[in-house]
Structure 1
Amino acid sequence: MNIDQLEHLIEVANTGSLTKAAENLHVSLSAISQSISKLERELGIQLFIRNRNGASPTFEGKRIIEKASEAMVKVNELKEEANRYSETLSGELKIGIIPSPTNFLIDIVSEFKSDYPAVKIEIYEKGPMEILDDIHHHRLDMGLILTSQSLLEDDHSLRSETLLEGKMVAGVHKHSSLAKLKMISPEDLISNTLVLYNDDYIKKFTEDILSGFGEIDIMFTSNNLDAIKRAVQKGLAVTIGLDYSFNSHQPFQNGDIVSVPISGIRDERVYFTLVRKEGRIPTLTVKEFMKRIKRKF
């Protein structure tokens, strides 16, 4: 019995499939199958029932999987203890983040690298769905995305921690007639040209609230916040985004663009969230970096 076998055992249990476990761990299906079979022969019991639908643990297998998970916790604690004695952190740290808040990571990364120069940090700007897929397949250690609580609750294989919460609003120029309204209706929005930040959640939200009122006029979508700001400032368009973006993030802080609540939408909070794989025990490096992110909020 070895650590690889325990990791294989736990991943098959989490995914319910030898094929998915092999994909997530970047090994061949044959390697996973042989690993589990060898472990079953060594222990003298059947761990999984294999069929067309995947692999489900036997009664005995469930108890062994629980013990394997406990053992892997201890293995990671041992590795962390060794890191403490060496008084440094090392290895790789791969982070996925939606483009808008990337700048806030720079200070955290700079301070972290100053304290732990042996850690190699890679940051990937991607859409939220791509980030979640990469987390599922162990290509990222963590992700920072904009989403709703209901979407996160649908995926039990993820662990999430909320960093900021808010609601979707319209961003208009302060001299626009729309700025005088207490609430902007979908009818008000559909009669205006929109510029949108290139984020999957924002685009889906806009489609959901406006599609029943006519054709949506979108001038452009972009990851360039300055371009979005200029279009709104010149009275060419209205934008839609999270309320805290207009109050706390450049380039909206100077007050030229104000946020107005949108009427007729359900009051679902939107979250800027730190996500990682459920059941995957974070390394000391990951834990320390997450701690620093949470301190910023």
Structure 2
Amino acid sequence: MNIEQLTYIVEVSNSKSLATAAKTLNISQSALSQAITKLEGELNLKIFNRSRTGAVTTKEGDHIVEKARSALDAIYQIKEEAKNQLNNVNDLLRLSTIPGLAGPIIDTYLSFRKKESHLKIEVNEKSSMEIIEDITNNKIDIGFIALNKTNISLVNDLNFTPIIEGKILVYASKESLLVKTTEVVTAALLKKQTFVLYKDEYVQSFITNFQRIYGPLNISFKTTNLDMINRAVTELGFVTIGHDISSKFNPYFPFDKMIGLNIVDSFDTSFRFGWIKKNENKLSEYTKLYVEEVNKILIEKNNGIT
């Protein structure tokens, strides 16, 4: 019995197909079949019932595969600990987040670094779609993204862990007529506004869907500069659209001058926000502690706890 054999039976159990597992493992189906047959001989029991339609674990095989998973996880932990010891626990975590969340992520890191470990991080702000692409291409280890119901399928092959919930709001100046006359913005009211928009796929998706149903909106300009957007709203009376958590976690958001308004239920504006990574990407214990600390801060702030 060896590590390869344990890896093979776990992968076959996951895919329920020798052909699919062989492709994933980058070996021939014949070699995979022979390795499993050899292991079954060593253990003197049948792990899989094989047929033309696939491979399904036997009752005894279920227990063997479960033990194999535990063994492989233990082996990974041993290797991870050895790596940490060799590198003096100088972990490097490459992460990206949607705009507005870099502040609490970095602040938490600075506090964490003082008391916990030598963990190092690289942080970038990107759109959710860019983060998903970077995860897929192994350019980053973990990312914090926004997902709604329409694009949940984009992360079917990845590990998405939701942490908080939020929604898209219309942001306007507190001195605007819009704020003084309503608490919920209708389509008719939106049509009368001048927009400045953050260049984000979800904002663009909302605008595209709105214009498809209700006709064109008056969009003055688009930018990734939040300060320009805030000034256009507070000084020119424009409105903008964005995630509510971006304002909650942005220490520079002008709460004294701007306010978020709910959008009438013509669209689903709800989102889930959380971490995404590859399923096979195992985080070190120090990284897990850091992420847990970030999650605690995000949940507390999102719930209005200071």
Common fold by TM > 0.5 = yes
Paired residue type of 2:91: G
Q: C-alpha separation between the residues in 1 aligned to 2:195 and 2:68?
A: 53
CA gap of 1:248–1:294, structure 2 versus 1, over 3 A, is closer
Please say if residues 233 and 240 of structure 2, whose CA atoms lie closer than 8 Å, have aligned partners that are also in contact.
Answer: yes
Cα distance in 2 for residues equivalent to 1:158 and 1:124: 20
Distance 1:253 1:6, change over 3 A: farther
Give 1:70's aligned residue.
Answer: 70
Map residues 95-134 of structure 1 onto 2, 5 A cutoff: 95-114=95-114, 115-117=116-118, 119-134=119-134
TM-score w.r.t. the length of structure 2 is 0.73
The one-letter code matched in structure 1 to 2:205 is K
Shift in Å at residue 138 of structure 1? 4.7
Verify: 1:43 aligned to 2:35, yes or no.
no
Which amino acid in 2 is paired with 1:179? Answer: V
1:296: Cα distance to partner?
A: 1.4
Q: Which residue of 2 aligns with 1:143?
A: 143
Q: CA RMSD in A?
A: 3.9
2:71 is paired with a residue of what secondary structure? helix
Distance 1:168 1:58 in 2: 45
Give distance in 2, aligned partners of 1:120 and 1:56: 44
Counterpart of 1:165 in structure 2 is 165
Q: Amino acid of the residue matched to residue 290 of structure 2? A: F
TM-score, with normalisation over the residues of structure 1?
0.75
Instruction: Please name the residue that 2:242 is paired with.
Output: 241
Aligned-pair distance for 1:226? 0.4
Percent identical residues: 27
Per-residue CA deviation, residues 215-262 of structure 1 (Å, 9 max, x unaligned), is: 233333322210111111222531011234345524323421111111
Mean CA deviation greater in 62-71 or 104-113:
62-71
1:23-38 equivalent positions in 2, closer than 5 A: 29=26, 36=32
Q: CA deviation at 1:8?
A: 6.7
1:79-113 Cα deviation digits (max 9, x unpaired) = 56668989x63433221212331122222233444
Stretches of structure 1 that go unaligned for 5 or more consecutive residues are 23-28
Q: Which residue of 2 aligns with 1:189?
A: 190
**CA-to-aligned-CA distance 1:32-56 (integer Å, 9 cap, x gap):** 87984674464268979899xxx95
Distance 1:235 1:211, change over 3 A: farther
Tell me what 1:26 maps to: none
2:187–2:214 CA contact under 8 A, matched in 1: yes
Check 1:66–1:46 CA distance in 2 against 1; reply closer, same or farther (3 A cut). Answer: closer
Distance 1:41-1:135 versus aligned 2 partners, 3 A rule: farther
Indicate conservation of the 8 Å contact 2:128/2:146, yes or no.
yes
Q: Rg larger in 1 or in 2?
A: 2
Residue 262 (structure 2) pairs with residue 261 (structure 1): yes
CA distance in 1, matches of 2:288, 2:156: 21
Task: Give the letter aligned to residue 195 of structure 2.
Answer: L
Q: Aligned equivalents of 2:206 and 2:257: distance in 1?
A: 24
Aligned residues: 286
Aligned mates of 1:266, 1:156 — CA distance in 2: 24
Structure 1 residues 57 and 290, CA gap change in structure 2 (3 angstroms): farther
